[in-house]
């Protein structure tokens, strides 16, 4: 630890700057949330006031529940995110294990090939992805989205996980081999449980971009029954653009699930970033 | 390392690699090259025919196309410049403050400042649209409160301000990422180095500029290239706030929205996958150039500073 004695002036300045920026970061979210619980008149008369007994109104949420199928959208987003994450982690860990554990011809080349996708955005290939999904009949299915997000997440997952798997002790694996465990059992029973923290990091990194993506749902799965929450709220807000109560409530409902996920996983996320996993 | 079993071909390696390689190749690498290939084709009488570089000639040579392309590219460059000049310095400054030892509540500040980053573009785009809207009046009222009401403009509706405003909204959303990465880099600087500086009387701001900043340059390089790739591939925020037409009068059009309109069509214009692919190829080229400049130009020089 540094032994500098910080003058209280510097400390106060530091806090002042941080508090100012925190307010800037949270202000829009706060305004949206408080106004979603107010009547239309109160939204315009005093936009910065908290809702009170007089101005409290749930009219916006009623519109959202009656008009939009938000439960369906939420379910679609949930399925897409959970299945994509599972596949990214499973396939990514398997490939990372192969790259970290075995010496075979083309190992380095395979690693570089898989790492290409870290820098090149998958969106560049959208035209051909859509044609492929049309020809295989996967357009307007959640499967199309799951495949795209899995492919998009794999490069970074393999990269991070193989770094971690190189750190798993060889003695442990060799002891398993002497006991007659197959390579598959060594992977699933011995190695996988040990890299769980790294898997959590990978999951958290991938979760937010998948949940929030607008591009692929818009292009590959715009149909009503497969809309994700992000696309659903975009379309809903576009239709109800003059109904401020409904728009504010829809925004709040879109904020809510991400905030819950963030509160649950923020430690993991921040630890993941600060441990240098993305260097 | 594994003791190689001499019993022939090691199938388990194939089994371990196959799922990832197949999905990645089929859904990412193959479509990428198929899209590049499509930019050399065109549709004539419902048949796909090879036209060589003609699509590129249209994109860069035809007055209507090239004007749109350069407009989008120019806007995109401005979008990137604002991120580099505003987002990254603010991120670095916040990280520097957060990393000072014995700062209380730093975990709270860190988590709170990161919140905008986890919100979707749809939420961010609309929330800011509402706040800046002249109808609702939050922005003009707040400026009024500090006596600056004359500064207020309907920023998102004016051609000369819209792009800068949206860039700043995007900066607001993503400042958490450079902050976190720089914060991590600052924490990894060994204390001995800082203490040695202290013995020589280098503390406070000069310690930051003379010791810490040179040491975190590699992280700043990574952040720059990440910002570059993300900006030249951006689409969602513009689409959520201004729609596919990137109004007013295409003043917020960037490569992502231009490609979307071309590929998918809008209003009177029919979608054209071949011109869409051509724009995608141009984007691919731009991103590749940026990544190469980083890998071969910047990163090598920055390596010298690492311990």
For residues B153 and B155, give the distance between their C-alpha atoms in angstroms, rounded to a whole number: 5
Q: Which one has a higher pLDDT value, A213 or A204? A: A213
pLDDT in tens, B37-84: 999 998 887 888 888 898 999 999 998 899 999 999 999 999 999 999
Q: Which one has a higher pLDDT value, B83 or A261? A: B83
Q: How confident is the model at residue A60 (pLDDT cuts 50, 70, 90)?
A: confident
User: Mean pLDDT, to the nearest integer, of B166-192?
Assistant: 90
Q: DSSP readout, B237-278?
A: HHHHHHTTTTTTTTTT--HHHHHHHHHHEETTEEP-HHHHHH
The length of chain A, given as a count of residues: 279
B113 touches chain A (CB under 8 A): yes
pLDDT in tens, A80-119: 999 999 999 999 999 999 999 998 888 999 999 998 888 8
Highest mean pLDDT among A14-28, B6-20, B100-114, B209-223: A14-28
- Fill in the DSSP letter of residue A122: G
Q: What is the per-residue pLDDT for B307? A: 45
Q: What is the per-residue pLDDT for A2? A: 43
Tokens (6 digits) for A234: 């975009």
Hey, are the CB atoms on A127 and B280 less than 8 Å from each other?
yes
User: Mean pLDDT, to the nearest integer, of A192-196?
Assistant: 88
- Checking if the pLDDT of B245 tops 90, the result is no
Tokens (6 digits) for B15: 């089994």
> A139 and A130 in contact (C-beta within 8 Å)?
yes
For residues A144 and A151, give the distance between their C-alpha atoms in angstroms, rounded to a whole number: 11
Query: How many percent of chain B have pLDDT more than 70?
Result: 95
Phi, psi of A73 (to 5 degrees): -60, -45
- Checking if the pLDDT of B298 tops 80, the result is no
Phi, psi of B228 (to 5 degrees): -60, -50
- What is the domain partition of chain B in residue ranges? 54-303
Count the helix, strand and coil residues of chain A and give each as a percent rounded to the nearest 5.
Answer: 75, 0, 20
- Checking if the pLDDT of A3 tops 80, the result is no
Query: How many percent of chain A have pLDDT more than 90?
Result: 41
Which of B22, B24, B182 to probe by mutation at the A interface, max A CB count within 10 Å? B24
For residues B298 and B307, give the distance between their C-alpha atoms in angstroms, rounded to a whole number: 17
Q: How confident is the model at residue A46 (pLDDT cuts 50, 70, 90)?
A: confident
For residues A168 and A198, give the distance between their C-alpha atoms in angstroms, rounded to a whole number: 12
- Checking if the pLDDT of A236 tops 80, the result is yes
Phi, psi of A213 (to 5 degrees): -65, 140
- Checking if the pLDDT of B304 tops 70, the result is no
Instruction: Compare CB distances from A26 to B115, B175, B233 and report the shortest one's residue.
Output: B115
pLDDT in tens, B261-293: 998 887 767 788 899 999 999 999 999 999 999
Instruction: Compare CB distances from B118 to A187, A208, A248 and report the shortest one's residue.
Output: A208
B65 touches chain A (CB under 8 A): no
- Checking if the pLDDT of B2 tops 60, the result is no
Tokens (6 digits) for B208: 């930051």
Tokens (6 digits) for B66: 């090239």
Is the domain spanning B54-303 CATH 1.10.3720.10? The answer is: yes
- Fill in the DSSP letter of residue B156: G
The β-bridge partners of B50 are B41
For residues B263 and B75, give the distance between their C-alpha atoms in angstroms, rounded to a whole number: 19
Hey, are the CB atoms on B94 and A18 less than 8 Å from each other?
yes
Chain A residues whose beta carbon lies within 8 Å of the beta carbon of residue B127: 28-29, 31-32, 251
Hey, are the CB atoms on A127 and B109 less than 8 Å from each other?
no
Angle at B128 between CA B257 and CA A47, to 5 degrees: 155
Question: How are beta strands B47-50 and B269-270 bridged, if at all?
Answer: unpaired
- Checking if the pLDDT of B16 tops 80, the result is yes
Q: How confident is the model at residue A1 (pLDDT cuts 50, 70, 90)?
A: very low
- Checking if the pLDDT of B152 tops 60, the result is yes
Q: What is the per-residue pLDDT for A276? A: 54
- Checking if the pLDDT of B173 tops 70, the result is yes
- Checking if the pLDDT of A277 tops 50, the result is no
Q: What is the per-residue pLDDT for B68? A: 92
> All domains of chain A, ordered by start, with CATH?
8-59 (no CATH), 68-239 (1.10.3720.10)
Instruction: Compare CB distances from B131 to A31, A173, A182 and report the shortest one's residue.
Output: A31
Tokens (6 digits) for A101: 């554990």
For residues A70 and B156, give the distance between their C-alpha atoms in angstroms, rounded to a whole number: 29
Tokens (6 digits) for B59: 């994109």
Hey, are the CB atoms on A128 and B116 less than 8 Å from each other?
no
For the stretch B264-272, contacts whose Cβ atoms lie closer than 8 Å and that sit 24 or more positions apart, written own/partner, are: B264/A219, B272/B43
CA B109 to chain centre: 24
Instruction: Compare CB distances from A233 to B122, B141, B284 and report the shortest one's residue.
Output: B122
Chain B residues whose beta carbon lies within 8 Å of the beta carbon of residue A216: none
Q: Which one has a higher pLDDT value, A189 or A1? A: A189
The Cα of A1 is separated from the nearest Cα of chain B by a number of Å equal to 6
Tokens (6 digits) for B298: 């910047």
Hey, are the CB atoms on B180 and A273 less than 8 Å from each other?
yes
- Checking if the pLDDT of B9 tops 70, the result is yes
Q: Which residue, among B78, B245, B259, B228, has the nearest Cα to B165 in the 3D structure?
A: B78
CA B299 to chain centre: 19
Question: Minimum mean pLDDT among A189-198, A258-267, B107-116, B247-256: which range?
Answer: A258-267
> B138 and A46 in contact (C-beta within 8 Å)?
no
Q: What is the per-residue pLDDT for A247? A: 86
User: Mean pLDDT, to the nearest integer, of A7-27?
Assistant: 88
Q: What is the per-residue pLDDT for B1? A: 44
For residues B179 and A135, give the distance between their C-alpha atoms in angstroms, rounded to a whole number: 44
The β-bridge partners of B269 are B266
Q: What is the per-residue pLDDT for B107? A: 84
Angle at A28 between CA B144 and CA A235, to 5 degrees: 120
Tell me how far CA of residue A279 lies from CA of A118, A256, B193, in angstroms: 12, 31, 21
Rg for chain B, CA atoms, rounded: 24
CA A255 to chain centre: 13
B143 touches chain A (CB under 8 A): no
Q: DSSP readout, B116-152?
A: HHHS-HHHHHHHHHHHH-TTT-HHHHHHHHTT-GGG-
Q: How confident is the model at residue A278 (pLDDT cuts 50, 70, 90)?
A: very low
Instruction: Compare CB distances from B28 to A22, A152, A218 and report the shortest one's residue.
Output: A152
Q: How confident is the model at residue A274 (pLDDT cuts 50, 70, 90)?
A: low
> A160 and A201 in contact (C-beta within 8 Å)?
yes
Question: Minimum mean pLDDT among A49-58, A148-157, B26-35, B249-258: which range?
Answer: A49-58
For residues A191 and A169, give the distance between their C-alpha atoms in angstroms, rounded to a whole number: 9
Averaged pLDDT of chain B: 87
The single residue listed with the structure tokens 């000639």 is B57
Query: Helix B121-132 to helix A244-274 angle, to the nearest 10 degrees?
Result: 130
Q: How confident is the model at residue B168 (pLDDT cuts 50, 70, 90)?
A: very high
- Checking if the pLDDT of A120 tops 50, the result is yes
Chain A residues whose beta carbon lies within 8 Å of the beta carbon of residue B26: 151
Q: What is the per-residue pLDDT for B160? A: 87
> A269 and A204 in contact (C-beta within 8 Å)?
yes
Q: Which residue, among A227, A216, A247, has the nearest Cα to B126 in the 3D structure?
A: A247
The β-bridge partners of B47 are B44
The Cβ of residue B57 has, within 10 Å, a number of other Cβ atoms equal to: 14
For residues B88 and B231, give the distance between their C-alpha atoms in angstroms, rounded to a whole number: 13
Instruction: Compare CB distances from B16 to A95, A151, A152 and report the shortest one's residue.
Output: A95
B10 touches chain A (CB under 8 A): yes
Q: What is the per-residue pLDDT for A7? A: 62
Highest mean pLDDT among A59-63, A142-146, A253-257: A142-146
Name the residue in chain A with its Cα closest to that of B292. A119
């Amino acid at each position: 630890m540094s032994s500098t004695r910080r003058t209280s002036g510097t400390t106060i300045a530091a806090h002042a700057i941080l508090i100012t920026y925190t307010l800037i970061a949270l202000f829009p979210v706060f305004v949206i949330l408080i106004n979603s619980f107010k009547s239309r008149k109160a939204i315009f008369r005093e936009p910065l006031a908290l809702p009170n007994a007089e101005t409290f109104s749930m009219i916006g949420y009623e519109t959202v529940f009656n008009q939009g199928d938000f439960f369906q959208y939420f379910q679609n987003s949930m399925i897409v995110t959970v299945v994509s994450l599972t596949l990214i982690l499973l396939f990514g860990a398997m490939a990372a294990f192969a790259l970290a554990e075995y010496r075979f011809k083309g190992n380095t080349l395979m690693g570089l090939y898989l790492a290409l996708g870290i820098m090149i955005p998958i969106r560049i290939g959208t035209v051909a992805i859509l044609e492929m999904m049309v020809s295989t009949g996967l357009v307007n299915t959640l499967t199309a989205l799951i495949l795209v997000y899995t492919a998009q997440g794999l490069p970074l997952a393999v990269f991070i996980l193989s770094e971690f798997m190189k750190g798993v002790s060889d003695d442990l694996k060799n002891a398993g081999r002497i006991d007659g465990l197959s390579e598959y059992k060594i992977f699933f029973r011995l190695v996988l449980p040990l890299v769980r923290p790294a898997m959590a990091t990978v999951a958290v990194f991938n979760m937010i971009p998948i949940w929030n993506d607008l591009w692929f749902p818009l292009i590959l799965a715009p149909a009503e029954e497969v809309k994700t929450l992000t696309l659903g709220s975009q379309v809903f807000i576009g239709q109800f653009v003059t109904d401020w109560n409904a728009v504010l409530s829809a925004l709040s409902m879109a904020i809510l699930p991400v905030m819950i996920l963030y509160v649950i996983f923020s430690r993991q996320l921040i630890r993941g970033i600060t441990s240098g996993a993305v260097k | 390392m594994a003791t190689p079993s001499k019993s022939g071909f090691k199938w388990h390696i194939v089994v371990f690699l196959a799922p990832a390689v197949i999905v990645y190749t089929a859904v990412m690498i193959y479509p990428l090259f198929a899209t590049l290939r499509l930019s050399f084709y065109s549709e004539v009488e419902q048949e796909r025919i090879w036209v060589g570089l003609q699509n590129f000639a249209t994109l860069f040579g035809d007055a209507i196309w090239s004007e749109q392309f350069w407009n989008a590219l120019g806007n995109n460059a401005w979008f990137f410049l604002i991120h580099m000049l505003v987002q990254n310095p603010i991120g670095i400054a916040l990280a520097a403050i957060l990393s000072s030892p014995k700062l209380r509540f730093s975990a709270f500040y860190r988590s709170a400042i990161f919140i905008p980053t986890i919100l979707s573009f749809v939420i961010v785009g609309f929330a800011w649209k509402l706040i800046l809207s002249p109808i609702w009046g939050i922005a003009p009222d707040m400026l009024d409160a500090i006596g600056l009401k004359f500064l207020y403009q309907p920023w998102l509706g004016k051609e000369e301000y819209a792009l800068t405003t949206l860039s700043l909204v995007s900066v607001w959303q993503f400042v958490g990422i450079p902050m976190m990465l720089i914060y991590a880099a600052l924490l990894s600087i060994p204390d001995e180095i800082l203490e040695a500086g202290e013995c020589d009387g280098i503390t406070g701001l000069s310690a930051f500029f003379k010791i810490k900043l040179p040491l975190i340059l590699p992280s700043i390089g990574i952040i720059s290239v990440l910002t570059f790739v993300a900006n030249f591939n951006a689409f969602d925020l513009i689409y959520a706030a201004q729609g596919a037409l990137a109004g007013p009068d295409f003043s917020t059009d960037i490569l992502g929205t231009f490609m979307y309109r071309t590929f998918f069509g809008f209003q009177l214009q029919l979608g054209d996958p071949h011109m869409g692919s051509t724009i995608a190829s141009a984007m691919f080229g731009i991103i590749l150039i940026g990544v190469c400049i980083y890998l071969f130009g910047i990163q090598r020089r920055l390596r010298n500073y690492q311990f």
